[in-house]
Amino acid sequence: MPTAPATIALPAQHWVDRHTVIPERGIIIEKFDTVTFTESQTRTRPLKDGREVSYWYYGARTFFSAKPTKSGERLLRIRSRSAATRNKPSVMTESWEQTRHLLDNDRTFPPELLEAATRMLHRTTGVPEGHETMKKSELFRAVAHPYLLELAKAGQDGILTGPRHRHIPARALRAKTAAEFTTATFGVRRTRKDLVKAVAAANMFDVQIAREAAKHVEVDWLVEFLRASVATPTDWAKVRKFGWGGERELPSFGKLFALVPPQRRRRLLMLIPGITKDGFRWIEDAVYSYKTLTDAAGTEAWTTTPPPAVAQAKTWRELHDALASTVRRFRNMNLPIPSHPVTDAVDGIRAAGHIIEAARETDQLLDWGDQMQHCIASYRSQAISGHTYLLAVTNEETGGLLANIELSTDGKVRQFYGRFNARPDAEITDPVTVAVERAAQQVLAQQKMLEAA
């Protein structure tokens, strides 16, 4: 009885690797669920006998992968490996958001590579509806990050083409629901239904701000902030300067909340929704001052006991001014201002209900400048060298600072300015000027008589 011929069981999917060589660009190796692009080109080098030899130079590599995860799900993953040099080994980096130039311009990579990666998606993950009208970069972003695709479907324009969300965890962008995204972004303990709803409706940059502030504020405040950011949206494309480093400065921004008492943090957070470009400038400069201080100190120990002006700040402007003053003190060591017979004579004079005080150290100039919001601290060098004399006019009863005076070496009042460089009333400036100049002129006259003798 004849037997049936033996059969060979073939795999359900049979794939033959495809190699594509792009002259002077590189080679593409396309497999079933991976695409690898290796930058390569021919180079020549001279030999000892004078002849030249050609060889292949291999540069950076880019990997598009849709291999299944432990759960069996396939998502696009893009990685890159830098080219190795004599002084620097090859480094593999995870490009969850791809590179910005890929998002901005499909022509960064050869079109053959983008087509190969698209074919791989059709074979593995599938592509979202309407992909025919998408740029390749948008398609890759949508498949790599399902949550961004859901936001795009919900009506958030530009979510697939906007700037990278550098400080949103990759696992959050790979989430498929707002609840999963919120849990991956803020943690299980902070996740609540009201926070999930607020996150789903908020702008992604506002979500990143909330994430950095989450370590220092209550969840109720995060929900309130995100709801306010939806009710009063901020046009971050116009407000935020790319010179700020895009989103790279967000960790330092979050640490600013730790500098002020908990009861003041909510106020600072709620000043952000709807902020203008001029208003955001105070935050940018405050972040810069914070980084300058941490770099200069070599440690963040100073933040455990911040200066009183920093801890008492109620607005971003006040926090900016306090940090800027701290930076100036860090950069300029406190030095004594040498005494002079003129300053000794005018120090303690009383006139029109006010007392004159002579500057004795450079930190006094910083304090006066912070209170009066003027540039008296810029005369630091002239005061130390004795080329000018700097004075303060304080109220005799309250001790409050009213104005500052610059007294020239010939005993004349050169400048007499109060807060914001405003000149005080004449009923104060006139008698104070007369008293200061009279005392200074008497000392100078005595010095001339002694020199003549």
pLDDT band at 394 (very low <50, low <70, confident <90, very high): very high
CA distance 123 to 10: 18
What is the band of 2 on the pLDDT scale with cuts at 50, 70, 90? very low
For residue 49, give the amino acid letter: D
Cross-sheet strand order for the sheet of 350-351: 350-351, 354-358, 389-395, 401-407, 413-417
Question: Of 144-153, 190-199, 426-435, which range is least confident?
Answer: 144-153
Bridge partners for 39 per DSSP: 26
pLDDT average, residue stretch 98-120: 67
Over range 416-422, report the average pLDDT.
Answer: 89
pLDDT tens, residue by residue, 238-274: 666 533 444 556 677 788 888 888 888 899 999 988 8
Which residue(s) pair with 41 in the sheet?
57
Least confident of 194-203, 277-286, 365-374, 425-434: 277-286
Prediction pTM value: 0.65
For residue 85, the model assigns a pLDDT of: 53
Task: Tell me which of 132 and 392 has the higher pLDDT.
Answer: 392
Inform me whether the pLDDT recorded for 13 exceeds 60.
Answer: no
* pLDDT beyond 90 at 392: yes
Average predicted confidence (pLDDT) for the chain: 80
Domains in the chain, start-ordered, CATH in brackets? 14-141 (no CATH), 341-452 (3.40.630)
How far is it, in rounded angstroms, from Cα 247 to Cα 245? 6
Whether the predicted pLDDT of 53 surpasses 90: no
Percent of the chain with pLDDT over 90: 25
Cα–Cα distance list, 245 to 164, 248, 273, 419 (Å):
12, 5, 20, 34
371 close to 401: Cβ distance less than 8 angstroms:
yes
What pLDDT, on a 0 to 100 scale, did the predictor assign at position 441?
Answer: 92
Residues 267 and 228: beta-carbon distance below 8 Å? no
Least confident segment among 113-117, 128-132, 233-237: 128-132
User: Residue 74 pairs with which residues in a beta bridge?
Assistant: 68
d(CA 117, CA 140): 9
C-alpha 339/C-alpha 150 separation (Å) is 71
Secondary structure of the chain in the HEC alphabet?
Answer: CCCCCCCCCCCCCCCCCEEEEECCCEEEEECCCEEEEEEEEEEEEECCCCCEEEEEEEEEEEEEECCECCCCCECCEEEEECCCCCCCCCCEEECCCCCHHHHHCHHHCCHHHHHHHHHHHHHCCCCCCCHHHCCHHHHHHHHHCHHHHHHHHCCCCCCCCCCCCCCCCHHHHCCCCHHHHHHHHHCCCCCCHHHHHHHHHCCHHHHHHHHHHCCCCCHHHHHHHHHHHHHCCCCHHHHCCHHHCCCCCHHHHHHHHHHCCHHHHHHHHHCCCCCCHHHHHHHHHHHHHHHHHHHHHCCCHHHHCCCHHHHCCCCHHHHHHHHHHHHHHHHCCCCECCCCHHHHHHCCCEECCEEEEECCEHHHHHHHHHHHCCCHHHHHHHHHHCCCEEEEEEECCCCCEEEEEEECCCCCEEEEECHHHCCCCHHHHHHHHHHHHHHHHHHHHHHHHHHHC
Instruction: Check residue 240 and give its pLDDT.
Output: 61
- Quick one: pLDDT band at residue 275, thresholds 50, 70, 90? confident
Q: Quick check: 432 and 393 in contact, CB under 8 A? A: yes
- The whole-number pLDDT of residue 6 equals 46
Is pLDDT larger for residue 432 or for residue 135?
432
The residue ranking higher by pLDDT, 28 or 299, is: 28
Lowest-confidence region among 42-51, 199-208, 213-222, 241-250 = 241-250
Each residue's pLDDT tens digit, 216-230: 899 999 999 999 998
